[in-house]
Amino acid sequence: THGKTHKILLLPGDGIGPEVMAPVSALLSEMVSRKTIDLQVSEALIGGSAYDRTGHPLPADTVARALDSEAVLLAAVGGPKYDTLPYEHRPERALLGIREKLGAFANLRPAKLFPQLANASTLKPEVIRGLDLVVVRELTGGIYFGSPRGIVTEGGVRVGINTERYSEPEIERIARVAFNVARSRKKKVTSVDKANVLESSVLWREVVVRVAREFPDVTLEHMYVDNAAMQLVRNPGGFDVIVTGNIFGDILSDEASQLTGSIGMLASASVGGKTGLYEPIHGSAPDIAGKDIANPSAMFLSLAMLLDHSLGEPALARTLEKAVESVLEEGVRTRDIAEPGCTLVGCREMGERISRAFFRLL
């Protein structure tokens, strides 16, 4: 550590959220007591459980404490119990609300094949061999926000309008995030656009090329989005960092997440503001909540991303990733990734084993 007390906020939320957060919270406490890291950890309410207690899914106190932290670790929100509430009170509203308050313009979604889980994917093992990529998606611009927009009537015909729009500063800052991520990985950026058709993509490409000059150690390639969608299922091992705009990134990050076939293993980060937000990509899984069978790995891997991107502790992050891998290597599995001959364990035991492996590998 660097003599500075880091401050992070945990938001366990609903459903399996508190179950997968519990072992991560225990790991953090032990890291603090063993002085692995100088950290102040607290917890706040979000989602349906916050609504039950305070009448609001995103209490002002939670927002204030999030903004006062270097990073927020969120498990999941939502559940059938809340589905009939008006939108403003729905747990999912809290999710959008907190991302917005934190000003996160870059969404990072790693998709990594753990070799031990090669059979979980719908793709052939030889196709997904070496799959270890990150999609860096621009999150606050592009066609989801551009104006003009709306449904208008022109000469008696209704027309739906949206506008793809990117400014140079918006492209520059997302490109910089991507090149920095690549620097800590395989040093390759694939910029995905549609520059053969869209002016917004022509500018995108030009700005990305300019930013690339600041990163001579990183290789840059360009790919049209239709080709990228194809290459992701054809040769996903060829990618390292994919950087792209909001709508292309929305689609490609979901495509990439399915390549590994195990939702309980995938983490994400939303960064760019002062406070980073880290969360598994899965939801609150009401179908398995309260049964101690959820996979906590995605939650641990989200903490690894937090350590890397917000706390500047890449070595601790790598050790935590290796801890998850070593538990898989021992044949230990939760139900969602179970296979014949494995040692089947619950959420709590999986979490304890990952923590023990972490301190063993430290």
Query: Which active-site residues does the annotation give?
Result: 144, 194, 226, 250, 254
**Binding partner of residue 133 among ligand NAI, Mg ion, none, CB cut-off 5 to 8 Å per kind:** none
For 279, list phi and psi in degrees, rounded to 5.
-155, 150
- Smallest gap, in angstroms, from Cβ of residue 76 to ligand NAI? 4
Task: Identify which range of 108-116, 176-184, 185-193, 279-287 contacts ligand NAI by CB under 6 A.
Answer: 279-287
Q: CB–CB of 40/8 below 8 Å?
A: yes
45 binds ligand NAI (CB under 6 A): no
Burial of 247 (0-12, 13-18, 19+ CB in 10 A): middle
293 is in an annotated binding site: yes
> Within 13 Å of residue 347, how many CA atoms lie on the same side as its CB?
22
| 67's tokens | 């903004």
Q: Which is nearer to ligand NAI, 249 or 264 (CB)?
A: 264
Output the DSSP codes for 258-311.
HHS--GGG-EEEEESSSSEEEEESS---TTTTTTT----HHHHHHHHHHHHHTT
**Using CB distances below 5 to 8 A depending on partner kind, what does residue 12 bind out of ligand NAI, Mg ion, none?**
none
Would the annotation count 281 as a binding residue? no
Asked if 18 interacts with ligand NAI (CB under 6 A), we say no
CB atoms within 10 A of CB 122: 10
Residue selected from 78, 141, 249, 276 as contacting ligand NAI according to rule CB under 6 A:
78
The token duo for 165 is 């729009």
Residues 324-353 that bind ligand NAI (CB under 6 A): 336
Contact between 12 and ligand NAI per CB under 6 A: no
One-letter amino acid identity for 357?
A
Among Mg ion, ligand NAI, none, what does residue 90 contact (CB within 5–8 Å per kind)? none
The option from Mg ion, ligand NAI, none interacting with 283 (CB < 5 to 8 A, set by class) reads ligand NAI
Let me know: does 271 contact 279? Beta carbons within 8 Å.
no
Give dist(CA 97, CA 91) in Å, integer: 10
R_g (Cα) of the chain, nearest Å: 21
Q: Taking contact as CB under 6 A, which single stretch among the options 4-12, 72-80, 184-192, 223-231 is the one that binds ligand NAI? A: 72-80
Residue 132 assigned as binding residue: no
Number of residues that bind Mg ion (CB under 5 A): 2
Sole binder of ligand NAI in the list 69, 284, 319, 355 (CB under 6 A): 284
Classified as helix, coil or strand, 21 is helix
38 among annotated binding-site residues: no
Mask for 231-260, x = binds Mg ion (CB under 5 A)? -------------------x---x------
Determine whether the annotation assigns residue 48 to a binding site.
no
**For ligand NAI, the closer CB: 250 or 279:** 279
Query: 56 vs 90, which CB is nearer to Mg ion?
Result: 90
Contact 350, 297 (CB under 8 A): yes
Q: Is 316 annotated as a binding residue?
A: no
Amino acid type, 30: E
The answer to whether the peptide bond before residue 148 is cis (omega within 30 degrees of 0) is: yes
CB of 284 to Mg ion, least distance (A): 17
If residue 223 lies in a helix (H) or strand (E), which one and from where to where?
strand 219-224
Residue numbers 240-269 binding ligand NAI by CB under 6 A: 263-264
The Cα 234–Cα 123 span in angstroms is 9
Residues making contact with Mg ion (CB under 5 A): 250, 254
Q: Which residues bind ligand NAI (CB under 6 A)?
A: 16, 20, 76-79, 92, 95, 263-264, 279, 282-288, 294-295, 298, 336
Q: Which residues are annotated as a binding site?
A: 79-92, 99, 109, 137, 226, 250, 254, 283-295
